[in-house]
Structure 1
């Protein structure tokens, strides 16, 4: 039985995204920081969503790859390649607000470790924002924080 609360295990230095940020900006942060997602906050630091690798990848599935014609001679339609490149650029220019998940699980600072761990396991989520009663972001808990709390006394 772990009697820690969200406040004990959360990371308080949270990297956040804003709804107006581009997907390209967020993708760069995810890669550089080696994290899978960011909470999205409004100008008052209230949580409005989460943007994750999954949200970005779902969008990329809609890119049509070019049709290959006369494969053996290696001929392909260059305009199709151009279209694919344009699609990728378009996605990079998307705003976070267009792709973020808004149906998100949030926890409060005094929620128990057990409750949070169970929610994350049951719902297969990798991160939960920690908010106060006004929905202002206070921290974030990732699976890594859960594991760390389980094995460090």
Structure 2
């Protein structure tokens, strides 16, 4: 089986200028844990998840550092801290979204989809054709195949 056999074809999306409140409403109203972000032409530019929104209620994770003779040297986590802080102050989808989205094609095999989800610790994969989102495959879609 391939992505095209199990993907949801009615995709709920938000635009880059959607507010945090609007995103939260879309997630709750549609009982989904993430939503693709599209540009004005319908091209996929990112994804916003419940996890991204949780940053609004937390403090950024501090980078790991060592103090040597009064100088603080950061050796891990500076990029993560910057990303956390960006999400903390975000007000719109374009500011809080994850823009490095793992995507699949409609011909991607289910086994490969499952591997990608595990490898990247993600719950859904957008199905893209010619830079446009044409579907989405969630973990639940894969689990449903066990019943057939």
Structure-1-length-normalised TM-score: 0.74
Q: Is structure 2 residue 143 aligned with structure 1 residue 147?
A: yes
**Where in structure 2 are the equivalents of 1:54-133 lying within 5 Å?**
54-62=51-59, 94-132=91-129
The 3 A distance-change label for structure 1 pair 98 and 129 is same
Q: Which runs of 5+ in 2 are unaligned?
A: 61-87
Structure having greater relative contact order (Cα 8 Å, sep ≥ 6): 1
Q: Is structure 2 residue 140 aligned with structure 1 residue 137?
A: no
Q: Is the 8 A contact 2:90 2:96 kept in 1?
A: no
Q: Which structure dedicates a bigger proportion of its chain to strand? A: 2
Q: Is the 8 A contact 1:23 1:92 kept in 2?
A: no
SS at match of 1:105: coil
Deviation digits for residues 18-75 of structure 1, max 9, x if unmatched? 1011010010111122211101111111110000111111132149xxxxxxxxxxxx
Consecutive aligned runs of 4 or more in structure 1 exceeding 3 Å deviation: none
Q: Is structure 2 residue 18 aligned with structure 1 residue 21?
A: yes
SS at match of 2:36: strand
Q: For 1:49, which of 41, 46, 56 is the aligned residue?
A: 46
Q: For 1:12, which of 9, 13, 31 is the aligned residue?
A: 9
Cα RMSD of the aligned pairs, angstroms, is 1.8
**Structure 2 CA distance for aligned equivalents of residues 93 and 125 of structure 1:** 22
SS at match of 1:108: coil
